[in-house]
Amino acid sequence: MVAVAREVSSAALAARVRKAYVGNATPSFLLDLEIEVPSGITILFGASGAGKSTLLDCIAGLTQPDAGRIAMNGDVFFDSEENLNVLPQRRQIAYVFQTLALFPHMTVEANVAYGLRDAPEQARSARVSEILQMFRVEQFRARKPREISGGEKQRVALARSLVTLPRVLLLDEPLTGLDAELKGSIIEDLRAWNAAQKIPILYVTHSREEVDALGERVIALEHGKIVSEGTPREVLDAPRRKRLAQAAGFENLLAGTVLDLREPDGVMRVRLAGAPREIEVPLGHASPGDRVRIAIRAGDILLATEAPRGLSARNVLAGKIASVERRGVIVIARVDCGLIFTVHVTPGAERALELAVEKKVWLVLKTHSCHFVED
């Protein structure tokens, strides 16, 4: 076996996990990896369906791996060979879900105090107050979760998890939907807390911006396996960058050639390979004639069924629908504009626009939704 008696640093979580995953939304895959999470923030980066949440569930004990070993400082949480599986409530591993899962019938204060039932009343109250202050949500202690904003909820969820002084903190995209400034300030508060506690924090995200902002150790996951590991720059700029760009939510990755730079406008024109189409993208480090890649998120493309006029967007491409496929709450349309674009719309939009194969449509790309990737 691989991990027999391997030396680990004093406060590191070590997990070796194998789990066949049969999902109904995503194709089945095998989660098969070995990671070591030292104290401080480690980012787990990958597309949805890469196995990030499944890995966190295994570490927290909410899902049982098929095989492997999960341990921290010699305390074993799970070991398939010894048939050992510690219940989640006994692992002292805090877990902030993407949905936060605040208890809707309890006040902020009761939510935060939930994990402290063994402490005497006075100590409990003091610790709750302290952590609420630390995360700047003290003034909301008597409110219910539905009465506070998204950012405040995220702070309360963090406070609720950290007040128990966990040994490990798992964060599953806890800051989605917040603007960069708010994100930054919450992350700073988290760092301040961990400066004293020094526990391993595993932070899951599919956002490149968050990887850049958190700026620590990154583990990139793809189809249940680790594809690269290192600093954000190393991971994002690895030769696998093309696939990681897709992992980061860029469903459209287009090859092209720079035609000219329009510095006063802050844009450059790119001729797309494979079709006589030109689009405008934000100015990047390139010269005319350079081969580049442009990454566009499927959710950033607007779809119109009539030729749009009077728009600020410079890039309007006509095409035909090649396929429409509904997956959960998103509808994936593939549009043939000489080359195929993937576009996400809501089921409501699909009905309103009466999308069907062969229907003529126009794609509208905001210049700043076209991300320039050096090739």
The site for other proteins (CB under 8 A) is made up of 60-62, 87-95, 97, 99, 101-105, 114-115, 117, 160-161, 164
Q: Shortest Cβ distance from residue 57 to other proteins (Å)? A: 8
What whole-number distance in Å separates Cα of residue 160 and Cα of residue 108?
9
Q: Which is nearer to other proteins, 103 or 311 (CB)?
A: 103
Provide Rg for the chain, Cα atoms: 24
Residue 253 phi/psi, 5-degree rounding, is -125, 110
- CB neighbour list of residue 352: distance below 8 Å, 6 or more residues apart: none
Q: Which is nearer to other proteins, 48 or 231 (CB)?
A: 48
We find the least distance from the C-beta atom of residue 28 to other proteins, in angstroms, to be: 19
Which CB, 91 or 183, lies closer to other proteins? 91
Please say which residue, 142 or 180, places its beta carbon nearer to other proteins.
Answer: 142
Closest CA to 254 of 314, 302, 295, 208: 295
Which of 1/87 has CB closer to other proteins?
87
Q: How far is the CB of 10 from other proteins (least distance, A)?
A: 24
The CA distance from 158 to 219, in Å, is 22
Shortest gap between Cβ of 17 and other proteins (angstroms)?
17
Q: Do residues 70 and 60 lie in contact, with contact meaning Cβ atoms separated by under 8 Å?
A: no
Integer Cα distance of 323 and 299 in angstroms? 16
Query: Tokens at residue 271, please?
Result: 């001729």
Min CB(67)–other proteins separation in Å: 20
Q: Which two tokens stand for residue 367?
A: 């210049």
**Beta strand segments in 22-86, E:** 29-37, 40-45, 67-72, 75-79, 84-85
> Measured from the CB atom, is 46 or 61 closer to other proteins?
61
In angstroms, give the least distance from the CB of 95 to other proteins. Answer: 4
